[in-house]
Structure 1
């Protein structure tokens, strides 16, 4: 049925095949049926089109991706790119990306292996020019997050500044020297807390703090860090304080109940009793010294509870430490555990010190005011907020094992790149991690290298900084197959990046490939012309000195390497000046003409003939004449018969390709060619007879004009017709029109090797 769909077309498939296909995708009796459906899912999607795919097939595809049988999920991962091509950009970004992340983190190694192999092709489906201007990171923010940020901004702008600090307050106290703001932020923070999603996981970290284990991204946590600090720190102060009006008191009580629901209950504190005990001092009902005592009394217990939870999580994950994803979680949890243990003592010391400073400076004498401690450094607050962003990373399935490094460079790339969902790109960049080879696939780096040009094209040259480090890592990989893959595609990547980035980032890697194994060098050599033509002429000339190195191979029997070199030199002739061709390419070409393998020599004849044409057309044509004289000396008068035969082959190629005008050929090459009619080796005379009859005499120059050159050719042919060798007589006697048979043309060639 899946094979028939492309043949019958879209209409018949939607009417007859699609309903039955959807039923079979949900077949609960035999997983083999579901597996076949998953394997051919992409073909069906490509036939029915985008609308039917999104309305009918995608729900089934989601079910198959979460199937209980790993073989079904593996088949889904293998056809993921085809399914993605049949959907719109919005579906691809919002739904398929998250689905693919689940496959990458699948418990089955075979599913993860297939998913990573399809990751690069799936990313390439985001290469849509019409979407290049969208800011995809904005879609990951919920409306409630945006409203909270706006509310915090407005709140900061609305705070009055009518309470001044005494001028004798030293600058080292964590109080603003310009003003002390009145704080009405408990309500805002409690309201913000009540609006949180029910799916968020709340772990009490401090009496004044909540650690939100949500699915927010790391960069959002970092960007909203400053907004969260004031609210979370001040939330401890408000429950013990009175309000100036009945409305604010009722609102405070209502919000306090909601906030109280999510936190460890605070101990009962009677403020009046506390005030009566301290009869020696006159304090306002909002005495700041009382506040740190509450926080300091409750925070150690909560910290111990949190440490216990972290220890349990680490203990549960340790049996699976071989998995890089689990290893990253354990490292982050360990860091969080150390932070919570260290800050328990530091927080108490910091609070006591701050209380003593406030007492000494007489700040408590200011009636009905509160100190804005936004500029202070609460160690517990910083530690827990860092832990908050860390634990968000752990509990976010879509970001699992992708942001294991929070370096500034990683954050910079995250902020700049907006073409592909960052979770997908992070997973792709993690394919170079050595641990991936142990837990996923030993050749995962090769798959990463294979799809890198497609990913680079999708991101564009403006986002090359996201891939530069990965490309350099792959270029230095220990496996030669990985480097070979990059070598075969470096010319395509150069086209994508342009000349500037190519010269800066690819040329050093290209130079390294030139000195690598033959298996890697062949990849560079096959596209040598394609890469060098993208470089500046000065940079291109630097490689003239290295072309000679291609003649040296690890294995002398690797004749295909030299044959490819001859092919590339033919293309390189157009990139260099006549002098460069004569000085650098000519020695290589003449060397290849004398190669031991006939296939290499055949290509070299073409190379030399094209070189003769280029140098002869140059002004002045002195390089061309020098090359012709060298051909005559090295091959036409060679003591070995194979060299003389090479001279005949070169002349034949020059005539066939019109590399020289016939009058110039008749003057500079033909006299030396005709002297070989008396060669003592029959193979040379046979090839000469074929060249004269089948190639030279077909040219208009020798048919129309009755010159001395034509007479010399006819006399030579008559002498060959009287030759003592039967093969020479045969090829010299028959008419050129009757000898255009490939078998006859190859018979002489085969007899000469």
Structure 2
């Protein structure tokens, strides 16, 4: 049963009201609240229904169940109560199914009453209510409260009907989103039989915003459909959309290509998706190019074997990309579609003429709604600015708008030349008939032609024979070359040299060249593409493998020295991951200099290597690790004195690093841990106490070293003129005992005398900590409980004195537990 496994109070709020009218029949109870003059009572109707399902006598509830639900449905007609009721629908369903074993009629509540109530509120004029209904319906299907029959007969037809309202942006947006989010929960059968056909029709809609909206949801269908259906339906539909005349649709194709590639068979990914993506990298619209470059790293990662990333949904039902460990791959929310607001960005509505024409054709020439007219008028000026990407008439304006001001790449100063390679992607079916074309037809008709026309060793200058800078230094002369083996207008800067086979065959070399070029971007106008390069570098490296590390080493060096701290911060965050891929030898040789450079960087960068300090030090060899040990005290310096979390992280990481070094080296170079014990912030001092206790445990076998180390600490803290430092020493004693950092007899000889001296301290806060340490840690040790122990008399004397202390808190903490 769907509701099996739920506990009775799973959906009971801690503040849920207690009902004292259980003597009434179920019908009278719900009528009492539904017809109350107090609006607060009427808002409790859904809670009353849940309580009725739990507590009402079974025979009485069975007789009145239909009338109870009728009253509940009528309450939904009250606009003031409807929102709360819709929100509670999943909880009502949960209670009904949970109690269905005692009242059989409760099994039919979801299908007969709750689902129709939710469905009739889909697409309503109140956008807030529409979203609540969508959320409730998704939750019902996610929890498996809706049967396949109910979904197929009662839910899908209503959603499909809403998708017919293409002229109403808010309705079509909600319908397409709901249909797509439901597909993973409804399963492959319903998705392929009922939903997929309509989805492909929407992808070929005459209205560009519908095509763009549909493109944004490809991932949901990739998550559920079979491989055969993907190859015959989804992939051809997607490839055709990549040729769309509207740049906003092509931009969305670039955004979602990783979802397509994640489920695409290897050969088709290499033969069709790679050339298509290369074409997006060289698109005539700068926004399409930017989106393509932002997803380039993740797209390259999909070539890994075995796969590195896969599609999943988060708790909100939104698409995410995750790795094999379940970590989300989401640089700057590039691949996330938690909302579809980006579909209605101002640049999209530069096509107001197209929008008006489509609207009029679908509505018999009817007038636009006022809000749409206002929207188009507001965007009129923006259209003029965005003509370069919005289908403007002036090619000159388009060219000027596409200038990319990258500081060190000559390529970015001119728009790429027109495509001069006749590839299969160029001859894909048009949008109008794409739904009827299978991938098999595309491969049969065009794949042979694509390979016949591509010359991997051919190099061409852009039209007009553009001149390139010259230099007397060998290797400095650069030329703009067409990237081989791709359907791309992207040009890549390469040294003039004899052409040879690509150094790797895991991913198309032109894609890798484009990825490497991203590392040299230092212009924020292009949305910091180097950041996306840096974010995806570990995934790209893992895809190519350790053997191809020389291809990416210069890329890593460029990113680590990038002018933008965000790029350096991203590399610092993943330096330990890169080291894991490379292994000890390469990590020690190639990553250690970068680590040393990050030590002197901004706090925003240093905190990232500090967070993974122990992980990185474990990767490099012992010789290189020892070289870094004297430099770890540089982490004590912070740009802002109030950055206490930096020091807390330092203490935590040093605690994990202690076992990596010899005891003598730890005492010599991590002596600055004592400075952290004097920090202004308590949590930093607490972390430092754990660190010092770990040091004591690590060096304990060297008795002379331990004795000298603790003597210095006792002199500085136990005998300090500052009461806070004396209190810290008492806390350290408790920490050492709690973590068994040393044997009790050694503690008794090295630290206990100093601790007992503090029992006379004039500051009550110090005596308080001493009392707590004795009661909670010392007397619980078997060594100090032995009557033959010579320390027992002094310990008991101190404890009796603390029990009679003038301070009440000290007396309370000194009391022995019963």
Paired residues of 1:317 and 1:326 also in contact (CA < 8 A):
no
Q: Deviations over 1:584-620 (max 9, x none)?
A: 11x2111111122212111000000010111112xx3
Is 2:509 the counterpart of 1:422?
yes
Q: Deviations over 1:433-472 (max 9, x none)?
A: 448754xx23111111111111111111211121122222
Within the candidate set 542, 565, 571, 1:457 is matched to 542
Aligned counterpart, 1:33: 210
Aligned counterpart, 2:461: 332
Equivalent residue of 2:620, what SS?
A: coil
Is 2:651 the counterpart of 1:522?
no
Within the candidate set 235, 242, 246, 1:58 is matched to 235
Aligned counterpart, 2:691: 607
Aligned counterpart, 2:219: 42
1:56–1:645 Cα change, 3 Å: same
1:655–1:394 Cα change, 3 Å: closer
Paired residues of 1:402 and 1:426 also in contact (CA < 8 A):
no
Q: Which has the higher contact order (CA 8 A, sep 6+)?
A: 1
State the 1:562 CA deviation: 1.5
Q: Relative to structure 2, which stretch is displaced further, 686-695 or 429-438?
A: 429-438
Is 2:266 the counterpart of 1:89?
yes
**What is the rounded CA distance, in whole Å, between the counterparts of 1:81 and 1:469 in structure 2?**
26
State the 1:695 CA deviation: 2.6
**What is the rounded CA distance, in whole Å, between the counterparts of 1:337 and 1:110 in structure 2?**
25
**What is the rounded CA distance, in whole Å, between the counterparts of 1:722 and 1:677 in structure 2?**
12
Output the TM-score relative to the length of structure 1. Answer: 0.62
Please list every run of at least 4 consecutive aligned residues from structure 1 whose deviation after the TM superposition is greater than 6 angstroms. Answer: 314-318, 394-397
Aligned counterpart, 1:598: 682
**What is the rounded CA distance, in whole Å, between the counterparts of 2:757 and 2:481 in structure 1?**
87
**What is the rounded CA distance, in whole Å, between the counterparts of 1:733 and 1:318 in structure 2?**
84
Within the candidate set 493, 499, 509, 2:578 is matched to 493
Paired residues of 1:126 and 1:419 also in contact (CA < 8 A):
yes
Paired residues of 1:5 and 1:13 also in contact (CA < 8 A):
yes
Aligned counterpart, 1:78: 255
Aligned counterpart, 2:804: 722
State the 1:59 CA deviation: 1.4
1:514–1:49 Cα change, 3 Å: farther
**What is the rounded CA distance, in whole Å, between the counterparts of 1:325 and 1:560 in structure 2?**
41
Within the candidate set 404, 407, 416, 2:493 is matched to 404
Q: Deviations over 1:409-444 (max 9, x none)?
A: 9x56x6212111112111111213448754xx2311
Is 2:5 the counterpart of 1:5?
no
Is 2:521 the counterpart of 1:393?
no
Unpaired runs of 5+ residues, structure 2, are 1-178, 309-394, 405-410, 418-459, 469-478
1:560–1:723 Cα change, 3 Å: same
Is 2:722 the counterpart of 1:635?
no
Paired residues of 1:402 and 1:430 also in contact (CA < 8 A):
no
Aligned counterpart, 1:237: none
**What is the rounded CA distance, in whole Å, between the counterparts of 1:502 and 1:565 in structure 2?**
22
State the 1:648 CA deviation: 0.8
State the 1:492 CA deviation: 0.9
Aligned counterpart, 2:305: 128
Paired residues of 2:247 and 2:288 also in contact (CA < 8 A):
yes
Within the candidate set 720, 732, 748, 1:650 is matched to 732
Is 2:403 the counterpart of 1:322?
yes
1:394–1:128 Cα change, 3 Å: closer
Equivalent residue of 1:533, what SS?
A: helix
**What is the rounded CA distance, in whole Å, between the counterparts of 1:337 and 1:514 in structure 2?**
44
1:334–1:8 Cα change, 3 Å: closer
Paired residues of 1:662 and 1:701 also in contact (CA < 8 A):
yes
Paired residues of 1:398 and 1:423 also in contact (CA < 8 A):
no
State the 1:338 CA deviation: 8.1
Aligned counterpart, 2:558: 473
Paired residues of 1:402 and 1:423 also in contact (CA < 8 A):
no
Unpaired runs of 5+ residues, structure 1, are 132-313, 340-389, 738-753
1:595–1:496 Cα change, 3 Å: same
1:719–1:11 Cα change, 3 Å: farther
Paired residues of 2:480 and 2:494 also in contact (CA < 8 A):
no
State the 1:16 CA deviation: 3.0
